[in-house]
A and B are shown apart, each in its own frame.
Chain A
Amino acid sequence: MLRNKLMLAAAILSGGAFASPAAAQNEQFIPILSYRTGAYAVNGVPYANGVADYYNLVNERDGGINGVKLLVEECETGYATDKGVECYERLKGKGPTGAAFINPLSTGITFALTEKTTTDKIPIITMGYGRADSKNGAVFAYNFPLLGTYWSAADIAIQHIAKEVGGVDKLKGKKISLLFHDSPYGKEPIPMLQVLAKKHGFEFTPIPVTHPGVEQKSQWLAIRQNRPDYVLVWGWGVMNGTAVKEAAAVAYPREKMIGVWWSGAEPDVTPAGDQATGYKALMLQHGAGKFPVHADIEKHVYAKGKGASEPGKVGEVLYNRGMVNAMLGVEAIRKAQEKFGKKPLTGEQVRWGLENLNLSEARIKEMGFEGMLKPIKISCSDHEGARDGRVQQWDGKGWKIISDWYTANQSDTEPLVNDISAKYAAEKNIQPRDCSKES
């Protein structure tokens, strides 16, 4: 364990955090907001390792992006909003051109930084989390909730439930509860689920769990009495494993629990042991497992002793997610370089790269992510870029994919996105951009 921590420090250093001033002139600075300590470290560590390893891979294998090396620095947020803002303020101006973008890995920090990043002209990438209304890039020019918002996740979850019960029309009269982390993250899907409940006629009950979620007896006794047909779990950290254990204690079938993609990783089920068997969770496209890009990481990063993770954990769900997140940021810089030149870019320039990012199936295959991701195309009006997901189920030893691909219905999500983002624009005196004129 100590060895791994020393290796991590070496990996971060080799990423160029302390590069010489001359070398630093041709480096692109990327801050990593992570949490390797505290209540959510169990989930934060594998994610941060995936991010760190991918940036390291780009430097070690490719010599950076078109010759521009990545200069990275981690800052520990502990999943606390105040620390996240502090990290952002400390790191936003580092490197020759400032931060290329920021990944807070916290919806709470995202809410706190949304206005600041717009003022500072630094994109905020919130892949699979953050503000769902920020899908509307006309209003939220600097927010990029790539691959899926919580409203898309809610829609996909209800689609899957509809399929299990025999059709959308069978949802009427069903009881669906949402067990959520009582935070901006956990509350985010509620408006969408209320819309869907009204549309399909199911009874929706939100049930909050106080941070960090170590005590859930009250909630599960209430669930035992109410006997919902399904329980959606919007948890993080210890809350997920505790939910599974409490469900087992009140004999609630784990097959009727569906976690969001942040409640479907290995640390969420392993503490519950056999009791987690049958538990389901959404996938933010990818799941666990190794793909061609992992072979590159093993060859160019781990073989050189520069890996951040324990080798056995490479390929776990959250490790892979960190890797995908880092890759999308790197590709946005690469795209921006096509327009602004092969040099370190400002946040504003990288924002253009993000908004014009278009990863085809061929490019995804070329990068070694085939099987993990579907094509993604970002635009001014669509900062989400893709809204596809699948469902996986824990079989006691590993996650097994049990569904085909679902795509969130924009007919469900779009009216809410437009409504809430318009209110935000009015409140903040933002003049929405005319996306037909953006290029």
Chain B
Amino acid sequence: MIALGQFLEVLIGGLMSGVLYSLVALGFVLIFKASGVFNFAQGAMVLLAGLALVRSLDLLVAWGFPVWAAIILGIGFAAVIMAITAWLIERFVIGPLVNQDALTLFMSTIGVTFILEGAAQMIFGSDAYPLRLFPTDAWFLFENLFPGGILVNKLDVWGGFIAGILVAGLAIFFERTKTGRALRAVADDHLAAQSVGIPISWIWFVVWLAAGLVALVAATVWGTKLGVQFSITFLALKALPVLIIGGLTSIPGAIVGGLIVGAGEKIAEVFLGSHIGGGIEYWFAYVLALAVLLVRPQGLFGERIIERI
């Protein structure tokens, strides 16, 4: 018999975890939505941003800067690193491949992944670096209703809050700004966008920069959760089923997909996994994703592509 309190705790914990997956998935969506490129390097970008932040933060604190100033300067430094990365990727990888097919662009991002992973660790180190930007303890809610209460981790709540702000900001950017509309035009057709005077190099730099900044935001939350270390790149694998479910082009879809994956995998692991040996959550997320693919190949919120034949 499953206790209601336990079920609610697992459900809430799963939904919160899902939001953290969404933070990584948003970077994928952003680049795909604006350039049609599936950016395999998003996990490596989270690692690079996290390492740049934590290493500069440690250095600034060691130099005697107050923590608040070190955080601001550290975030600024990491943002600059992500801007340089965006420029390098646009200048030397994506730019020269303009008008190539999607598979070529995708393969190029696999190359970028390995370069970023190697360079990030070579420059900033390959240890596990603690990052403490958010509280990581928990609230225990409704203790009068359920024995032991329902555990809600404060870091997860912060993650949800940040994801909400990101989604709102990105929605406004895409819908209400000239650059956002230009991004969508470039995604629809590179050549057509160029022909009406949209500077494609600038647009692609902007979108990779935006994805880099989203990666930085994800790194602040995941770095606090895990410590900044190489394993943070594995988050890209957690984001894939989120993208399949939510759709590659939808920012709200990334959030909803994250919620479904997070809640689904946690409930499966706790209540089903214990009966079949456990360790099922990693692949169970892909079971959910495949189920959605069969019914709605473009994802729950993805754009339906209709082509005349």
Q: Restricting to B224-274, which residues have a CB under 8 Å from any CB of A?
A: 225-227, 229-232, 234-235, 238, 265-266, 269-270, 273-274
Q: Which residues of B contact A37 (CB under 8 A)?
A: 117-118, 121, 126, 230
Q: Which residues of B contact A242 (CB under 8 A)?
A: 225-226
Asked whether B231 lies within 8 Å of A215 as measured between CB atoms, the reply is no
**A1-B123, A207-B278, A218-B269 known; A42 and B136 CB under 8 Å?**
no
Quick check: which of A108-116, A247-255, A382-390 contacts chain B, the rest being far away? A247-255
> B151: CB under 8 A from chain A?
yes
Quick check: which of B6-14, B61-69, B81-89 contacts chain A, the rest being far away? B6-14
Contact count band on A: 35 or more
> A214: CB under 8 A from chain B?
yes
Tell me whether chain B's interface is mostly helix, strand or loop, or mixed.
helix
Asked whether A221 lies within 8 Å of B230 as measured between CB atoms, the reply is no
Asked whether A218 lies within 8 Å of B231 as measured between CB atoms, the reply is no
Q: Restricting to B105-122, which residues have a CB under 8 Å from any CB of A?
A: 117-118, 121-122
> B192: CB under 8 A from chain A?
no
Quick check: which of A86-94, A142-150, A265-273, A372-380 contacts chain B, the rest being far away? A265-273
Cα-based distance from A207 to B155 in the complex (angstroms) = 24
Among B151, B277, B278, the residue within 8 A (CB) of A221 is: B151
Closest to B278 in A: A208
Asked whether B130 lies within 8 Å of A249 as measured between CB atoms, the reply is no
Among A2, A209, A221, A275, the residue within 8 A (CB) of B122 is: A2
Q: Which residues of B contact A249 (CB under 8 A)?
A: 136-138, 151, 153, 155
Cα-based distance from A182 to B266 in the complex (angstroms) = 17
Closest to B269 in A: A218
- A187-225: CB near B (< 8 Å → 1, else 0) gives 000000000000000000011111011110111011011
> B281: CB under 8 A from chain A?
yes
Among B122, B230, B270, the residue within 8 A (CB) of A218 is: B270
Q: Which residues of B contact A137 (CB under 8 A)?
A: none
Asked whether B277 lies within 8 Å of A208 as measured between CB atoms, the reply is yes
Q: Which residues of A contact B137 (CB under 8 A)?
A: 248-249
Cα-based distance from A99 to B132 in the complex (angstroms) = 46
Cα-based distance from A218 to B279 in the complex (angstroms) = 10
**A210-B281, A221-B10, A250-B138 known; A238 and B231 CB under 8 Å?**
yes
> A341: CB under 8 A from chain B?
no
Q: Restricting to B198-241, which residues have a CB under 8 Å from any CB of A?
A: 225-227, 229-232, 234-235, 238
Give the Cβ gap from A48 to chain B, nearest Cβ, in Å: 11
Give the Cβ gap from B106 to chain A, nearest Cβ, in Å: 22
Among A41, A209, A213, A217, the one with the most B-chain Cβ atoms within 10 Å of its Cβ is A217
Cα-based distance from A221 to B268 in the complex (angstroms) = 13
Q: Which residues of A contact B125 (CB under 8 A)?
A: 1
Asked whether B136 lies within 8 Å of A218 as measured between CB atoms, the reply is no
Asked whether B281 lies within 8 Å of A218 as measured between CB atoms, the reply is yes
Among B117, B138, B227, the residue within 8 A (CB) of A241 is: B227
**A39-B234, A208-B278 known; A218 and B126 CB under 8 Å?**
no
- A368-412: CB near B (< 8 Å → 1, else 0) gives 000000000000000000000000000000000000000000000
> A237: CB under 8 A from chain B?
yes
> A36: CB under 8 A from chain B?
yes
Give the Cβ gap from B303 to chain A, nearest Cβ, in Å: 30
Among A36, A212, A219, A245, the residue within 8 A (CB) of B231 is: A212
**A208-B279, A238-B128, A273-B130 known; A39 and B231 CB under 8 Å?**
yes
**A1-B122, A42-B126, A250-B151 known; A210 and B282 CB under 8 Å?**
yes
18 extra interchain contacts, Cβ-Cβ under 8 A, other than A238-B231, A248-B137?
A: A41-B121, A42-B127, A42-B128, A45-B126, A182-B278, A208-B278, A212-B234, A215-B17, A215-B281, A221-B13, A224-B9, A238-B128, A238-B227, A242-B225, A249-B137, A249-B151, A250-B138, A272-B130
User: What 6 pairs between A and B have smallest CB-CB spacing?
Assistant: A271-B227, A208-B279, A218-B269, A238-B231, A210-B282, A208-B278
